[in-house]
């Protein structure tokens, strides 16, 4: 089963030709999540043939326009499609003030339940968990209250050793119990086989870390430690370090340092300033600190297994 992140936008606030502001679509074990929703996100979903009707959780990092301006439009389109399934939106309290004013004055009535979940961006907290995955918010350090997100698989199921199961003629109706770690006991109680003989160890549960907008800060490194993939903003090249500090953003070099010190497997950089037509120099700069870095190319999906 897949854990897949699709990039919908990799640009920062100013419009850039052929690039879009922040938005990511995540499919984790057939649960469909949107993270940030910049202007044009619904058009990007359409372009990459992702059904918006499937999305039922939206996580918003902060209320800067490049992360939320697509949200009212997306919700209104869901309404036009007479959506019935509830939607859950997680974001700082200011987000809900903004949405409420808009929906009040536009006299919008939704055909579905709109559930608001307030994030406190000053603390690390579990926002959601079920048996398949959980989402944790952690503080980022930006001009307005901002949260990063960890999206983590829950513990994985053991893998069947099909060959041995076939040899012992284990009925397939027992497979789910075996994957959950139970021993095999035949219905008449005569055959007992230890689970370890019939299954393999499960792989490590996967963690995806999302850092939207933040100044370089040691505390972020701690929060994203050992993630399989870290998405980190990389708004400027390091020669614009002063600009990065003034606007509370990160340079490509610093994003590489975060990835390296946090011991992640892969770094994806995005949220590029409109001043850069060519993104290659940003990639090369991040790679001087952390070799396994990729650009958050729009439309590209990163699959974690």
Binding mask 216-255 for Zn ion (x = CB under 5 A): ----------------------------------------
Applying CB under 5 A, which part among 89-97, 203-211, 213-221, 262-270 lies near Zn ion?
Answer: 213-221
Q: How far is CA 302 from CA 13, 24, 51, in A?
A: 24, 11, 18
Active-site choice (36, 66, 213, 228): 66
Looking at beta carbons only, is 71 or 78 nearer to Zn ion? 71
- Nearest of 73, 81, 84, 24 to residue 48 by alpha carbon: 24
Q: Estimate to the nearest angstrom the gap between the alpha carbon of 304 and the chain centroid.
A: 12
Looking at beta carbons only, is 28 or 147 nearer to Zn ion? 147
By the rule CB under 5 A, 213 interacts with Zn ion:
yes
- Using a 10 angstrom Cβ sphere, with 0-12 exposed, 13-18 middle and 19 or more buried, the burial of residue 96 is middle
- Nearest of 8, 1, 2, 4 to residue 302 by alpha carbon: 4
Rounded to a whole number of angstroms, the minimum distance from the CB of residue 85 to Zn ion is 29
Beta-carbon-side half-sphere exposure of residue 224 (alpha carbons within 13 Å): 34
Applying CB under 5 A, which part among 89-97, 185-193, 208-216, 260-268 lies near Zn ion?
Answer: 208-216
- Nearest of 61, 74, 91, 89 to residue 232 by alpha carbon: 61
Active site residue 66: yes
Instruction: Give the C-alpha separation, 212 to 92, whole Å.
Output: 14
Rounded to a whole number of angstroms, the minimum distance from the CB of residue 247 to Zn ion is 8
Rounded to a whole number of angstroms, the minimum distance from the CB of residue 271 to Zn ion is 6
Quick one: tokens of 12?
């920062």
Instruction: Give the C-alpha separation, 254 to 251, whole Å.
Output: 5
- Nearest of 109, 1, 35, 14 to residue 296 by alpha carbon: 35
Contact with Zn ion (CB under 5 A) among 64, 83, 174, 253: 64
Applying CB under 5 A, which part among 83-91, 103-111, 211-219, 284-292 lies near Zn ion?
Answer: 211-219
Applying CB under 5 A, which part among 28-36, 74-82, 157-165, 212-220 lies near Zn ion?
Answer: 212-220
Binders of Zn ion among residues 132 to 161 (CB under 5 A) are none
By the rule CB under 5 A, 39 interacts with Zn ion:
no
By the rule CB under 5 A, 298 interacts with Zn ion:
no
CB 230 within 8 A of CB 224: yes
Cα-trace Rg, the chain: 22
Looking at beta carbons only, is 27 or 235 nearer to Zn ion? 235
Looking at beta carbons only, is 213 or 217 nearer to Zn ion? 213
Residues lying near Zn ion in the complex (CB under 5 A) are found at 64, 66, 213
Active-site residues: which are they?
A: 66
């Amino acid at each position: 089963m897949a854990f897949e992140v699709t990039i919908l936008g990799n640009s920062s606030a100013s419009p850039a030709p052929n690039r879009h502001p922040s938005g990511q679509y995540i499919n984790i074990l057939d649960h469909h999540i949107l993270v940030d929703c910049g202007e044009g996100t619904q058009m990007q979903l359409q372009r990459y043939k992702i059904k918006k009707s499937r999305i039922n959780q939206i996580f918003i990092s902060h209320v800067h326009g490049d992360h939320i301006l697509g949200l009212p439009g997306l919700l209104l389109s869901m309404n036009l499609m007479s959506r019935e399934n509830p939607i859950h939106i997680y974001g700082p309290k200011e987000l809900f003030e903004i949405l409420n004013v808009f929906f009040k004055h536009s006299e919008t009535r939704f055909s579905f339940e709109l559930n608001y979940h307030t994030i406190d961006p000053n603390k690390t907290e579990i926002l959601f968990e079920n048996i398949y995955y959980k989402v944790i918010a952690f503080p980022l350090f930006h001009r307005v209250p901002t949260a990063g997100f960890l999206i983590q698989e829950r513990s994985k199921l053991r893998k069947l050793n099909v060959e041995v199961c076939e040899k012992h003629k284990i009925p397939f109706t027992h497979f789910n119990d075996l994957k959950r770690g139970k021993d095999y006991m035949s219905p008449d109680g005569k055959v007992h086989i230890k689970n370890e003989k019939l299954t393999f160890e499960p792989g490590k549960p996967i963690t995806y870390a999302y850092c939207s907008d933040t100044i370089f800060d040691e505390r972020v490194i701690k929060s994203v430690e050992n993630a399989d993939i870290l998405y980190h903003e990389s708004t400027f090249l390091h020669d614009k370090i002063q600009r990065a500090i003034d606007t509370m953003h990160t340079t490509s070099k610093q994003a590489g340092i975060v990835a390296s010190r946090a011991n992640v497997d892969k770094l994806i950089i995005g949220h590029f300033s409109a001043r850069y037509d060519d993104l290659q120099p940003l990639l090369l700069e991040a790679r001087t600190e952390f070799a396994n870095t990729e650009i958050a190319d729009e439309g590209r999906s990163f699959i974690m297994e």
